[in-house]
């Protein structure tokens, strides 16, 4: 199953596009596009698919999705009944990363916003009171002129960049390319994992890449990612496995070894712990959306 590319260039006749969607149910298409998307769910519920993340969604959810990240909001079955009077409503902003100019977010004052847009390549879910505040601001944007919308979007992104109650959605293994961050020491580690995740990865080798001893590196890695290196690598491998499961070119045993696991029992156990369901259950759940 490959996501469908949606060309929004014909819709983005302005630097940014702000819309209030109101349908019997959301678009039932697993898709991606070149624009960054900010979504505030106003009404409706169902299952949200963003990369390899599968979660329930509900009113007040606030999500930022980076360029080319496949996604879908699949409403509950009740929304598809002929007799249904339910509504699926959302406030949605689509914008090009360079809507304010090619180098605008590279200036020092915009560093936090630039970091936010880099993190958006994994999808970001926001929690707490900021969700309601941003929804109210997005609603006001509908009545603004083009200049006001540009300025308000910059302010909204700045507010989101300061949010401390947010979490990434996609695993790094699902995303084909890494966005480069400010941490050059960790970039070396990421590149090594990308190049070698199908093989055995030793802590000694990883630590040596950063010129740190094993204990210091483990503490540093946990501080940066709030998880151990072992868990990070397993999540990376499982994310890659999810990608292969969706493409349906290999059976589950083949995917196990393609993803860097040495035996099927460990693969199944790690997959269940990280994704909350078995590899076959994950594949079947996604198959049901198209």
CATH number at 11 reads 2.60.120.10
Domain co-membership, 98 together with 191: no
pLDDT of residue 158: 97
Instruction: Round to whole Å and give the CA distance between 78 and 86.
Output: 8
Residue 177 lies in a domain: no
Domain co-membership, 192 together with 54: no
Domain containing residue 222: CATH number: 1.10.10.60
Domain co-membership, 39 together with 144: yes
Domain co-membership, 266 together with 226: yes
Domain co-membership, 162 together with 76: yes
Domain co-membership, 72 together with 205: no
Domain co-membership, 139 together with 20: yes
> Number of helices and strands (H, E) in the chain?
10, 11
Q: Which two tokens stand for residue 45?
A: 């519920």
Q: Check if the beta carbon of residue 193 is closer than 8 Å to that of residue 201.
A: yes
DSSP state of 205: H
Residue 153 lies in a domain: yes
Q: Check if the beta carbon of residue 8 is closer than 8 Å to that of residue 94.
A: yes
Query: pLDDT tens, 147-185?
Result: 999 999 999 999 999 998 999 998 876 764 333 444 567
Domain co-membership, 103 together with 193: no
pLDDT of residue 182: 42
Instruction: Round to whole Å and give the CA distance between 243 and 245.
Output: 5
Burial 79-97 (b: 16+ CB within 10 A, else e): beeeeeeeebebbebbbbb
Residue 253 lies in a domain: yes
Residue 152 lies in a domain: yes
The low-confidence residues of the chain, meaning pLDDT below 50, are 12, 176-182, 290
pLDDT of residue 189: 86
Contacts for 257-266: CB closer than 8 Å, 24+ residues apart: 258/198, 259/173, 259/197, 259/198, 260/197, 260/198, 260/199, 260/233, 261/237
pLDDT of residue 178: 33
Taking the CB of residue 167, how many other CB atoms lie within 10 A of it?
12
Residue 174 lies in a domain: no
Domain co-membership, 55 together with 195: no
Domain count for the chain, please give it.
2
Domain co-membership, 219 together with 97: no
pLDDT of residue 264: 96
Residue 175 lies in a domain: no
Residue 173 lies in a domain: no
pLDDT of residue 184: 62
Domain co-membership, 156 together with 192: no
Domain co-membership, 192 together with 153: no
- Structural domain boundaries, residue 210: 184-287
Q: Which of 136, 168, 200 is the last residue of a domain?
A: 168
Query: pLDDT tens, 31-61?
Result: 889 999 999 999 999 878 898 787 889 999 9
């Amino acid at each position: 199953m490959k996501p469908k590319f949606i060309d929004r260039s014909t819709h983005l006749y302005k630097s940014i596009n702000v819309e209030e969607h109101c349908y019997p149910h959301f678009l039932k298409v697993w898709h991606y596009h070149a624009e960054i998307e900010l979504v505030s769910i106003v009404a409706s519920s169902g299952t949200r698919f963003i990369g390899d993340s599968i979660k329930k969604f509900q009113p007040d959810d606030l999500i930022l999705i980076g360029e080319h990240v496949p996604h879908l909001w699949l409403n509950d079955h009740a929304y598809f009944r002929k007799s249904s009077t339910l509504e699926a409503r959302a406030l949605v902003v689509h914008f090009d990363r360079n809507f304010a100019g090619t180098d605008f977010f590279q200036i020092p004052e915009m560093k936090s916003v630039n970091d936010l847009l880099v993190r958006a390549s994994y999808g970001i879910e926001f929690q707490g009171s900021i969700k309601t505040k941003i929804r109210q601001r997005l609603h006001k944007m509908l009545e603004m002129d083009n200049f006001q919308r540009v300025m308000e979007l910059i302010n909204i992104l700045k507010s989101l960049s300061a949010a401390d109650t947010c979490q990434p959605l996609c695993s790094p293994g699902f995303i084909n390319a890494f966005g480069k961050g400010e941490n050059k020491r960790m970039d070396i580690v990421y590149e090594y994992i990308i190049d070698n995740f199908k093989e055995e990865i030793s802590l000694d080798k990883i630590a040596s890449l950063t010129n740190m001893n094993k204990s210091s590196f483990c503490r540093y890695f946990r501080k940066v990612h709030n998880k151990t290196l072992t868990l990070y690598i397993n999540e990376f491998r499982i994310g890659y496995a999810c990608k292969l499961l969706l493409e349906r070119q290999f059976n589950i045993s083949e995917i196990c070894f393609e993803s860097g696991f040495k035996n099927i029992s460990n693969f199944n156990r790690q997959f269940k712990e990280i994704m909350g369901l078995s590899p076959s259950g994950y594949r079947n759940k996604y198959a049901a959306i198209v």
